[in-house]
Amino acid sequence: MKRGKQIVIFLLVLLFCGGYAFWRSGLHLSPEAAMAAEEQGLRYGPSNKILLTYEKENGSQVLVGRWEKGLSVVGVEPKWGIFWKSTDLINGNMHCLFMEEPVEAFLTEENYIVGLCELPEATEVTCKLYVYDEVEKASVFVKELTMEIGEDGFFYGETSLPVEASTEYGYTVEHVEAKGKSGETIFIKGADV
Amino acid sequence: MREPWERYLNDVVSHVRFAFDRRKIRQELAEHMEDLYEDLLSQDIDEKQAAELTVDYMGDSEELGKELDKAHHPVLGYVWLILGILCIVVAAKTAFGLLDTGIGIAKGYFAEVYPASASEVVYTISPDVEKQVYDYTLYIDKIVYYEDGRMEVDYATWRNPFSRDEYWTFEIRAFPYVGETQCYNGEGSYKDGRYYGKGQIKLRDVPEEADRLEIRANADLGNGWGEPIEISLTEGRVMAE
């Protein structure tokens, strides 16, 4: 067989094997595709709209998406310059925010508060963060953050939080209050109600 | 007698720049010269003269060498060589990967599921239930109820080996009911088997009057599971003899 023909056959074999390896590798051509693969692996979604993307110090990204029943937060990282792969999350439950109430919010691992408000008349949301303190043996208030409600009812805010040994259980959003244009409370739930 | 031949062949292949082809070219030329030599001998030409004529008939060594160099171009040669090596390595890796997948599937398929109790069987139900949950298909194969109140739910899952979704374990829980009253806190089961795997849920203290079983996903973050599977524990019973 001519060398040229053999080269074509080699290329076809490499294409097939390379394609198979890529298919099985968990690599994707975009951050959104990597996110969808993670979501479907966890058996929800996938998100039909990305509402927020932020970068972490190590170059990976965190995508916040809107899916049928709430919000989804998935970390993705670049691989070899052109591919993307979902990163391992410490707590799988941090992926999903279910809309059990008209306003819901939670804190991501990178200290972003993200949430959804399904009340069209609400214009801003105040969230209060608490943390379980081993010394106090109780949840203690840490800080509050007020955020504007944007398109699609999505709101978010970045916050810095102290890391202390007695609070290693992590911070949680335990109070949510939505207000209207005139500052009136439209919805409230949580620790200070 | 062969010395002139060796000199001739060395001279020819010295003009072929792609060194990896030189041995093969040399061998082919040597065979051709051998045929030519035998042919001359058969015409009653003596050996010495036949050997000299053979070299003459082959033509100018430099000219032949350059022609062969064109036909065995080094660029094409090195591309062929590198792609060939890559092909062997990659094809072997792919073949092992496919074999590993096949072995994994076979292991899951032939895995044994042992009875959940040593006591007598009261009844068995083969519900023949199948449910699709994203890239998993869940099969509820058999429900066995024992005299000591234990109940086993044998199931299997099949995950599409070509799925691009990330792999997360698939766990289910079973809840027996008497009417609308849940009579057991529910038991879960984890099974291994990335593609095809068999699992068993073992329940204890299930009352004999339990009339249905609900199968729900454990740790299903997004409720992709949908509604729980409901299986009647009174219909389709095969009582033990």
pLDDT digits (tens, 9 = 90+) for A70-97: 899 999 999 988 999 998 654 444 577 8
pLDDT at A93: 46
Please state, rounded to an integer, the average pLDDT across all residues of chain B. Answer: 88
ipTM > 0.85 (yes/no)? no
Has residue B83 been placed in a domain? no
Does the pLDDT at position B218 exceed 80? no
Domain boundary, last residue among B41, B72, B103: B72
Domain boundary, last residue among B39, B72, B105: B72
pLDDT at B224: 59
Residues B153 and B229 in one domain: yes
Does the pLDDT at position B208 exceed 80? yes
B194/chain A closest Cα distance in angstroms = 12
Q: How many domains does chain B have?
A: 2
pLDDT at A134: 82
Rounded to an integer, the average pLDDT of A7-19 is 93
Residues B119 and B206 in one domain: yes
pLDDT at A22: 87
Determine if the pTM surpasses 0.90. no
- State the Cα–Cα distance between residues B54 and B48, nearest whole angstrom: 10
Q: pLDDT tens digits, residue range A96-129?
A: 788 889 999 988 878 889 999 999 999 999 999 9
Residue A18's closest chain B neighbor by CA? Answer: B90
Has residue B92 been placed in a domain? no
pLDDT at A1: 62
Q: A7 falls in which pLDDT band (50, 70, 90)?
A: very high
A100/chain B closest Cα distance in angstroms = 12
CB atoms A13 and B90 under 8 Å: yes
Does the pLDDT at position B142 exceed 50? yes
Give B90's contacts in chain A (Cβ within 8 Å). Answer: 13-14, 17-18, 21
Q: pLDDT tens digits, residue range A25-71?
A: 889 999 999 999 998 888 888 999 999 999 888 888 999 999 988 89
Contact between residue B175 and residue B186 where contact means Cβ atoms under 8 Å apart:
yes
| Domain hosting residue B65, numbered range | 3-72
Give A44's contacts in chain B (Cβ within 8 Å). Answer: 220-224
Does the pLDDT at position B222 exceed 70? no
pLDDT at B193: 64
pLDDT at A192: 65
Contact between residue A63 and residue A39 where contact means Cβ atoms under 8 Å apart:
no
Has residue B102 been placed in a domain? no
pLDDT at B143: 95
CB atoms B87 and A96 under 8 Å: no
- State the Cα–Cα distance between residues B122 and B204, nearest whole angstrom: 14
Q: Which of B73, B166, B171, B225 to mutate to test binding with chain A, by most A CBs within 10 Å of its CB?
A: B166
Q: Which of B88, B98, B165, B169 to mutate to test binding with chain A, by most A CBs within 10 Å of its CB?
A: B165
Does the pLDDT at position B70 exceed 50? yes
Annotate chain B with three-state secondary structure.
CHHHHHHHHHHHHCCCCCHHHHHHHHHHHHHHHHHHHHHHHCCCCCHHHHHHHHHHHHCCHHHHHHHHHHHCCHHHHHHHHHHHHHHHHHHHHHHHHHHHHHHHHHHHHHCCCCCCCCCCEEEEECCCEEEEECCEEEEEEEEEEECCCCEEEEEEEEECCCCCCCCCCCCEEEEEEECCEECCCCEEECCCCCCEEEEEEEECCCCCCCCEEEEEECCCCCCCCCCCEEEECCCCEEECC
Scored b (16 or more CB within 10 A) or e, A34-71 reads bbbbbbbbbbbbbbeeebbeeeeeeebbbbbbbbebbb
Nearest-CB residue to A13 (from B87, B166, B225): B87
Cα B115 to chain centroid, rounded: 32
pLDDT at B237: 92
Phi (first) and psi of residue B238, to 5 degrees: -115, 105
Phi (first) and psi of residue B149, to 5 degrees: 90, 0
Nearest-CB residue to A44 (from B97, B136, B221): B221
CATH number where B231 lies: 2.60.40.1200
CB atoms B87 and A10 under 8 Å: yes
Residues B43 and B141 in one domain: no
Has residue B79 been placed in a domain? no
Q: pLDDT tens digits, residue range B93-107?
A: 999 989 988 998 898
pLDDT at A104: 93
CA torsion B43-B46-B52-B54 (nearest 10°) is: 30
Please, what is the Cα angle at A177 between A172 and A179, to 5 degrees?
150
Has residue B65 been placed in a domain? yes
Residues B55 and B148 in one domain: no
CB atoms A41 and B167 under 8 Å: yes
pLDDT at B1: 58
Q: Chain B within 8 Å of A65 (Cβ-Cβ)?
A: no
Residues B165 and B228 in one domain: yes
CB atoms A44 and B83 under 8 Å: no
Give A25's contacts in chain B (Cβ within 8 Å). Answer: none
pLDDT above 70 covers a percentage of chain A that reads 90
Q: pLDDT tens digits, residue range A147-173?
A: 999 988 999 999 887 765 555 667 888
Has residue B207 been placed in a domain? yes
Has residue B149 been placed in a domain? yes
CB atoms A42 and B94 under 8 Å: no
Cα B201 to chain centroid, rounded: 30
B84/chain A closest Cα distance in angstroms = 6
pLDDT at A92: 43
Q: Assign residue B59 a region (left: φ > 0; alpha: ψ between -120 and 50; beta: otherwise).
A: left
Residues B118 and B228 in one domain: yes
What is the total residue count of chain A?
A: 193
Residues B119 and B233 in one domain: yes
Contact between residue B155 and residue B170 where contact means Cβ atoms under 8 Å apart:
no
Q: pLDDT tens digits, residue range B164-197?
A: 888 877 778 899 999 999 887 666 666 666 788 8
Has residue B63 been placed in a domain? yes
Q: Chain B within 8 Å of A177 (Cβ-Cβ)?
A: no
Between B169 and B29, the higher pLDDT residue = B29
